[in-house]
Each structure stands twice: as structure tokens, then as C-alpha cells.
A and B are shown apart, each in its own frame.
Chain A
Amino acid sequence: MTAPLPQFTAGLYLGAGLLAWAGMALRSRRLERAAVGVLAAGAVVHLVALGLGHRADPPPPLTDTAAALSFMAWIGTVAFLLLLRRARLAGLTVLVAPMAFVGVFAAALPMRSSEPASFAGSGSWPHAHVLLASAGAALFGLSSLAGILFLAEHRRLKSRRPLDAKLPLPSLEALDGVNRVALALGFPLLTLGVATGMLWVASERGTLWTGSVHEIWSTLAWGVCALLVTARFGAGQGPRQAAVASVGGFVFLLFAVIGVGLFA
């Protein structure tokens, strides 16, 4: 009964993405609103799918890449929907919905993890690690999507192209706001994710650091994210540089968490 739900979720996310792009192409507010509605419906169905999946007997391993990707897509979508209530960000659906679709779709593909997950005697650390790290990565993903749109709009404004008042992209200020909020929330979650990962390893192997490929790349990615956050909040980095850094930081994070697992 739960098998079609992820597919249905992916369908809704894809539909939301198509509606959002059609809305942008046709400059239709109605389509844009419909896209947000379908995206929200997708998030609800996704939650149900995650919940039902977790209650299955036996439950699917949360520590695999597929589960992490699916959870990242859900967290990113929900965070975006919450931010929508505070600013005119509906234009960002053109990026968020396709990314959510890619996350759910990729979760359905057969993948191998960098290391076989072990649960024996680990308690709740595996779950805590995956949930916190995925949530952190999802928020970094959201900040990078806002960054992409910021850079597009910045370029457009600098080139003095004609303005289309009917369906404007989100304002630079709103996009920069998404970047700040996502980084401010995402980094602590990612840090907790890394910490719980180390505790998981400690409970398994009796040491916090084993030097595995996943540990090395994850720590590197955390370091990059720490630099990004320090530059943004500590060194007074400007909005455009922050947007560029967010995009670069998320690409690195994605590679470190998923890419290394795929190619190692």
C-alpha cells in the first residue's frame, strides 16, 4: 500500500516544478500559486510516505543514501514552504520543486553506500546522525537555490534588462534572507549531524575517528560549511559573494556526502 506513495510524491513534486516553470514562462500568477499548492501537497504525501515507510516491518535502513536523500528533499521543501509565509518567495518554486523531485526520484534508484551501515549496539545514534545531517544538508541546499536565483536576478539588474512587473522573481533582499536563515539553521544541524555520526562510530568501534573515506570527506565538507558561515556572519561577506559561496559549498557538500559514496 505504501509502495506508490513515493512515486506519487515524486509526481507531485514534478508537477509543481512544471507548473512553476509554466507560470514563469507564461507570467501567470495563478500557475505560480498552483505550483506552491501542489508542492505543499507533495510535502504532505511525502511525510505520510516517510511515516508509513518507517512503520514497515522490517523498517528500511535509515542510514542508506536513498533515505537520506528523500529526507533531505522533504526538509528542504518544508523549510521553503515555511519561509514562503514571511516573504514573496513563490518564484523560488521553479528551483525547489525540481530539486525535491530529483531527491525523491534519486532515492528510488539503486545505490550503494560507501560503507555498510551497522546498527548493532548503536542505540539511536544512526537515526540521529542521518536525520540531523540530512536536515542540515537540506538547508544548505535551500540556501544554494536561493543563491542561484539571487545571482540570476543580480545579473539581470546589472544588465538593465526590461522589467516584467507581472511575475517578478523574489526580491534580492528576500533571497538573501533565505540564504541567511538557511545557513544559520543548517550549520548547527549539520554540526550536530557530524557529532552524532562520531558518537555512532564510537559506539560501534570504541573510537571517535576511524579514518574512513566517509568520515574524511564529511569532516572536510563540514569545514567548508564552517568557513562559509564564518564568512557570512563573522567577516561581513556581501550578499552576492554569499550566494556564490552557498552554491559552491552545497556542491561540495553533496559530493562529500553522496558523490564520494557513489564513486569510492
Chain B
Amino acid sequence: MRVLLVGMSHRTAPLDLRERLAVPDPIPGLRKLVASEEVDEAVILSTCNRVEVVATTRRLEAARLRIRSFLRRELAECDLGPEVDECLYEHVDGDAMRHVLRVACSLDSMVLGEPQILGQTKQAYRSALESRAAGPVLGRLFQQAFATAKRVRTETRVAERPLSVARVAVDLAKRIFEELSDKRALLLGAGEMIEAAVEALRGAGLAQIAVANRTPERAAELASRCGGTAHGLDELPRLLAQADLLLSCIATTRPLLGAAEIEAALGSRRVPLLVIDLGVPRNVDRAVDRLDNVYLYDVDDLGAVAEENAAARQQERVRAEAIVEEQKLRFDAWLATLRAVPTIRHLRERAERIRASELERVAGHLALGEAEREAVEYLTRSLVNKLLHAPMTQLRRAAEREEGGAMLEVARMLFDLDSEPDLDSDPGGEPESGPDREPADGA
């Protein structure tokens, strides 16, 4: 049994190609794949950054060709042509397993540590289960991947620190305010930066939003999108006096708000004000930070925090990779034991056939009643089980090691498993004078 992964990602394929291969519902494709002789089990992972097929097969070369052909001709609505091949990568066995674990842990993502990929991987596996395309090997592999992702998230800090300016702003707000749902945000400007930040803040519970802009129409547009109220800049002092959070990104040549304006607006109010100035040039004078209850962060501050967070995540990558390697070794060990399964099954079947055949032959001489027959059945079965227990255990253990293949070969040779047994021969001798006869060697 081999594990094969064929796919493309943001590292190897441009967006327009990834777009054409993106599949909203992988189930029909999965059914096609496992219906073919070359593929035993399959999972299709399709996200905006990657399309990958993970499969198990007993015919590696044929499966490789089949999956490449599937990706080029069957997954997309049209034949994508040979340029797809140049963007595809392949991983086999250990490398394929490692890749699946790394993907689930977001170590192969565009943004290291992003959380969405784990959910997408789980969904891909669910689809494979629904279409009966995932069997025991991929089942075990994906469960291992989910467990690895959990370990990486709990044991390392690879996913902890926010990387986008918007997410850093949310973190800041949570540091200052216990709840965002009862806080008022004032958005100064109505551009994309402001919109991205306010979306993140709304996701964290912020509900009361006022948008102030030079152009009232743009303020109204953003206010309607984020469920806020639109205002002109002339209302700024009044709005500022009510705000707990000021998000500013407006085109200006000099700071629009100085310490005096903010101090005057706050008046006797003693609750904190978080000011996030995303404008370049800055909209809020740096001197504002000297005010006691005002926390001012400009775009450089947020960017610096985001950069430090990214650097911290990269440092954690080494620890995460070590966990992936450890988990991969566990899966390797489990997969290796599967190599022993056909030999063990064969050995057991052979022993059972010999036992049944010998019992049948001897039973004719013994005139056994029902109870005696059951006792002899039990005895012979027990003997066979006990005799086989040690070799089967050793074979399983040996299969986990590199030299396990040789050991399995030796076992097949010793027990002559590759030829049909001669059940008529009598290597041990046939009882000649019934059950009362003493054994010849006196044992």
C-alpha cells in the first residue's frame, strides 16, 4: 500500500489556474477516482490556495498517471492542457504523509498559522467519508493530521499572534475594553483600510459605529454596509466626545486632530479612548499619546507589532515542524504494521486449513461424540493460536522496522506461504492403532 499526493498550491500555480481547478463539491470527483482500479482511497482538498488529491494505491505509477489525468481533464470543466503538469507536485509515502500533516497545521499556508485550513481539511475528509472514498489508511492519516494540528496549536505559538493590521487593532481593543458590544466607534474616513479594520472589530462584537467623512455620500455608503450612522467632519467634536474607539484613515497633509482637540472633546470623561490612526500622513498628532487615558497606535506601530508577531510565528515554526515529524513517525509505524497484515492473514488461513483438514481426517478414526468433538476442536484451535501468537507478534513488530520486509519474506518462505499446501501428505504420521496407542518417542 502506497500513499500518493498530487496537487498544486500557491507556491507552484498562479491564481487563475487554481481558480479553474477549485471544486465546490469534491464528491463526484472522488467517486470517479475510487471507481478506477488504480486508486484505492482518495481525499480531495480544494481551497483558494491549493488543490490536492491524496490517495492510496497498490499501483503507484498507474495511480500517478490517473490522478494527473483526473486533475487535467476531469476536475475542471474543460481540459486544462499540459501546462497543468508543470504546476503539479507529487509526494509519495513518507513525504506525502508529512505534507498532509504540514498542510493541516498551516505550515504550508500562505499566512503561517492561519486557522481556516484545518476546517477546510476536515471538510475535505468529511466529503471523502460521505462518498466512501476514504478508507482505513487515509482515515488514520487525516485523524493523525487533525491531532497534529491540535498539538501544534496548543504546544506552540505558531497561530497565536495576529498578523494583519485589522486583527492587531482588534487585539488592542480587547486589551483595553472588556466588551466591545457596548462601545462606540468613530470611523474617520471611509476607505478600504478603515473598512477592513471595522469588519474585524465588528467580528469581535463592536456594534455602535459612526462614520465621519469629508464626502457624506461615501460615509453613508460605509455606514450602510457596517450598520452605522453617517456624519460630516463638522460633527467631529461631538462624535469624539462619545467615542471609545477612533479609527482614522483620511487623506490630509497635516494631523487633523491634536492633543488639545481630543482633550477638549473628552472633557471630564475618564474612560479610555483607543485611537488607531491608519492614515499616512498621520491624521492624529503623536502628542495625543501623552494624554493619560488615550492609547494611540499609528500604522507603523500596528505594522511593527504585526511584523514582530510574524517573526515570532516563524520562530515557532521549528517547534511545529518537530511535532509534525514526531506525528509522522507514529503514522509511519502504524502504516508499516499494515505490511505484515497479508502475511499474517495468509499464515492464519493456512494454519486453519491444515487444522480443519487434519481434524477431519483424524475424526474418522476416532468415533467422537458431539462433546468430544467440541473438546478436540477447542484443543486444536487453542494449539494453533498459541503456536502462531509469537511469530505473528514478531512479524508485526518487525514490520515497523526497516528490515521488516526481509523478515516477512523469511516468514513466507519458512511457512511456504507462496504455494498451495498439500493437505493429503502426512508429515507427522497418522495414528495407526487408535487413540490409546503410546507415542513412538514416548513424549
Contacts and interface: CB of A to CB of B under 8 A. Distances in A.
A165 B161 CA distance: 6
A160 B301 contact: yes
A160 B160 contact: no
Interface stretch (B69-77, B288-296, B403-411): B288-296
Query: Which of B295, B297, B312 has the most chain A CB atoms inside 10 A of its CB?
Result: B295
Interface stretch (B82-90, B122-130, B173-181, B388-396): B173-181
A162 interface: yes
Contact of B157 (A157, A166, A172, A238): A166
Interface string A152-183: 01000110101111101101111001000000
Interface in B151-182: 157, 160-162, 168, 171-172, 174-179
B322 interface: no
B304 interface: yes
A87 to B, nearest CB: 6
Nearest to B183: A173
B56 interface: no
Query: Which of A164, A165, A166 has the most chain B CB atoms inside 10 A of its CB?
Result: A165
B161 A164 contact: yes
A173 B272 contact: yes
A162 B175 contact: no
Nearest to A27: B157
A171 B176 contact: yes
Contacts of B174: 168, 171
B18 to A, nearest CB: 30
B425 interface: no
Interface residues of A, number: 25
Contacts of A238: 270, 292-293
A162 B270 contact: no
Interface in B270-286: 270-272
A164 B292 contact: no
A162 B168 CA distance: 9
Contacts of A168: 171, 174-175
Nearest to B302: A160
A88 interface: yes
A158 B297 CA distance: 9
A171 B312 contact: no
A236 interface: yes
Nearest to A89: B178
A193 interface: no
A239 B305 contact: no
Contacts of B295: 157-158
Interface in A192-251: 236-241
B293 A240 contact: yes
Contacts of B178: 87-88, 171, 173-174, 177
A66 to B, nearest CB: 37
Nearest to A169: B175
B372 interface: no
Given A27-B157, A163-B305, A166-B160, A173 B177 contact: yes
Contacts of B305: 160, 162-163
Interface in B293-332: 293, 295, 297, 301, 304-305, 308-309, 312
Given A162-B308, A165-B162, A173-B272, 15 more contacts: A157-B172, A160-B297, A162-B309, A163-B161, A163-B171, A163-B305, A164-B160, A168-B175, A172-B176, A173-B176, A173-B179, A237-B270, A238-B270, A238-B292, A239-B270
14 contacts: A88-B178, A158-B289, A158-B295, A160-B305, A162-B161, A162-B308, A162-B309, A163-B172, A163-B309, A166-B160, A171-B176, A172-B175, A236-B270, A239-B272
Interface of A: 27, 87-88, 153, 157-158, 160, 162-166, 168-169, 171-174, 177, 236-241
